[in-house]
């Protein structure tokens, strides 16, 4: 493998993956990214231009996608509309990008016989009760709750069908909640860190009891790389780092690490259809492919992330007021 096409490679996780490839391989990387509000041009500009080429374009553009797929040895597909709250306001771009975009890529990799890795989420499995001893595994039935997660579920099913019906050389991964540098301030952890930096109080939906299973984005990148290199075609691998925390615990830790009283947060209007708990069992990835996360101490990962947002004020500040104005409209 000499060249790789990374869709959504300017996004939070995609740009981390591109950075990972540049640091650890000799691959020539092309990023195909629509450069939506969620794209980080700065993250791509910081990489050597002789290693990474940026193509600003849409994954639903079949002619563009076909030409790019023809020129690359593998495709890793991160591009998506990714925020649940946005999908509740306007599902339309979610259907377009997540479903039609994945379909468009699948048709191109089918035609050119190109290796494909599809990046997805644990939200396709729906949610668990707080006291359920179970965690998600590769055989948990699909049961998505939101427009976002249902479009991701739809895209996963397209990939599985293209493997079975057309012999497409694809693998899939479903990962838990990521945190780390360059995550958009609309998302939970960056929103609360930047609220505190701005003198605003963190906002917890409902009672703050919902649980997410946190993983550092660098561990997500190393897992995708592992699956791309060693994953069995047609297989799904769950990616997680045993990082279950309630939203309230996360906010209390952020407040403490930032020198504020642990109860200096507000409870706000809950998200409609809010999934209660996600939890990943990543045994298959660990035992079959030998992957392990490096960021196993959530508190120190969070501390480093807080330092990154403190040091990169110029990156997030231009986005912050518009995000907060949108949340205020929803009472959040």
Interface residues with ligand NAD (CB under 6 A) are 7-8, 10-14, 32-36, 38-39, 58-60, 78-82, 97, 101, 119-121, 152, 175, 177-178, 184
CB atoms within 10 A of CB 272: 11
Per CB under 6 A, the list member of 121, 140, 221, 305 interacting with ligand TDX is 121
**Most distant CA pair in the chain, distance:** 58
Please tell me which residue in 123, 186, 252, 324 is annotated as part of the active site.
123
DSSP characters for 116-132? EEEEEEGGGG--B-TT-
Question: DSSP letter string over 37-81?
Answer: TT--HHHHHTS-TTTEEEEE--TT-HHHHHHHHHT-SEEEE----
CA distance 213 to 134: 13
Residue 123 annotated as catalytic: yes
User: Would you state the structure tokens that stand for residue 227, as one six-digit string?
Assistant: 């699956």
Choose the catalytic residue: 33, 58, 85, 148: 148
- At its nearest, how many Å lie between ligand TDX and the CB of residue 19? 19
39 binds, among ligand NAD, ligand TDX, none (CB under 5 to 8 A by kind): ligand NAD
Q: Which of 191, 195, 173 is nearest to 239 (CA)?
A: 173
| 16 DSSP assignment | H
The answer to whether 218 and 16 have CB atoms below 8 angstroms apart is yes
Shortest reach from residue 212's CB to ligand TDX, in Å = 5
Residue among 72, 117, 203, 277 that touches ligand TDX (CB under 6 A)? 203
- Which range in 15-23, 47-55, 135-143, 205-213 contacts ligand TDX by CB under 6 A? 205-213
118 binds, among ligand NAD, ligand TDX, none (CB under 5 to 8 A by kind): none
213 is catalytic: no
Residues 6+ positions from 89 with CB-CB distance below 8 Å: none
Catalytic residue among 122, 218, 252, 275, which?
122
Which one of 62, 201, 205, 286 is in contact with ligand TDX (CB under 6 A)? 205
Q: Which is nearer to ligand TDX, 114 or 192 (CB)?
A: 192
31: which strand partners?
Answer: 6, 54
Site string for ligand TDX, 80-119 (x = CB under 6 A): --xxx-----------------------------------
Check binding of 142 to ligand TDX (CB under 6 A): no
Two structure tokens written together for 259: 């020198």
Q: Please work out the total of residues on this chain that contact ligand TDX, with binding judged by CB under 6 A.
A: 16
Closest among 67, 55, 58 to 36, alpha carbons compared? 58
Cα–Cα distance measured from residue 101 to residue 95, given in angstroms and rounded to the nearest whole number: 9
Binding span for ligand TDX by CB under 6 A among 33-41, 48-56, 201-209, 283-291: 201-209
Beta carbon of residue 188, minimum distance to ligand TDX (angstroms, whole number) = 3
Query: Annotated catalytic, 288?
Result: no
Q: Is 40 in the site for ligand TDX (CB under 6 A)?
A: no
Q: Which does 13 bind (CB under 5 to 8 A by kind): ligand TDX, ligand NAD, none?
A: ligand NAD
Taken in order 283, 224, 298, 177, the sign of the CA dihedral is: negative
Measured between alpha carbons, how far is 66 from 302 in angstroms, rounded to an integer? 40
- Least distance in angstroms from the C-beta of 91 to ligand TDX: 14
Backbone dihedral region for residue 259 (phi beyond 0: left; psi -120 to 50: alpha; all else: beta)? left
**27 or 80, CB closer to ligand NAD?**
80
Q: Active-site residue numbers?
A: 122-123, 148
Residues forming the site for ligand TDX (CB under 6 A): 82-84, 121, 123, 177, 187-188, 191, 203-205, 210, 212, 247, 271
């Amino acid at each position: 493998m000499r060249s790789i096409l990374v869709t959504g490679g300017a996004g939070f996780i995609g740009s981390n993956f591109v950075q990972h490839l540049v640091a650890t391989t000799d691959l020539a990387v092309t990023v195909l990214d629509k450069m939506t509000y969620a794209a980080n041009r700065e993250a791509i500009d910081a990489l050597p231009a002789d290693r990474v080429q940026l193509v600003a374009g849409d994954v639903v553009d079949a002619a563009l996608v076909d030409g790019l797929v023809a020129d690359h040895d593998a495709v890793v597909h991160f591009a998506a509309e990714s925020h649940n709250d946005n999908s509740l306001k306007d599902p339309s771009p979610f259907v377009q990008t997540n479903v039609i975009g994945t379909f468009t890529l699948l048709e191109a990799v089918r035609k050119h016989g190109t290796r494909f890795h599809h990046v997805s989420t644990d939200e396709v499995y729906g949610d668990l009760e707080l006291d359920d001893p179970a965690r998600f595994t590769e055989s948990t039935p699909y049961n998505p709750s939101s427009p976002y997660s249902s479009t991701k579920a739809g895209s996963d099913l397209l990939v599985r069908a293209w493997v079975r019906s057309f012999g497409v050389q694809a693998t899939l991964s479903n990962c838990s909640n990521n945190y780390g540098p360059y995550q958009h301030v609309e998302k939970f952890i960056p929103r609360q860190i930047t609220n505190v930096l701005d003198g605003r109080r963190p906002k917890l939906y409902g009672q703050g009891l919902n649980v997410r299973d946190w993983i550092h984005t660098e561990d997500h990148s190393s897992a995708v790389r592992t699956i791309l290199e060693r994953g069995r075609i047609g297989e799904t691998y769950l990616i997680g780092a045993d990082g279950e925390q309630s939203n309230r615990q996360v906010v209390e830790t952020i407040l403490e690490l930032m020198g504020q009283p642990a109860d200096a947060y507000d409870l706000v209007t809950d998200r409609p259809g809010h999934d209660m708990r996600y939890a990943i069992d990543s045994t298959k990835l660990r035992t079959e492919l030998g992957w392990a996360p490096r960021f196993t101490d959530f508190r120190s990962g969070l501390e480093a992330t807080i330092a990154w947002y403190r040091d990169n004020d110029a990156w997030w500040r231009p986005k912050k007021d518009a995000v907060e104005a949108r949340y205020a409209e929803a009472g959040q």
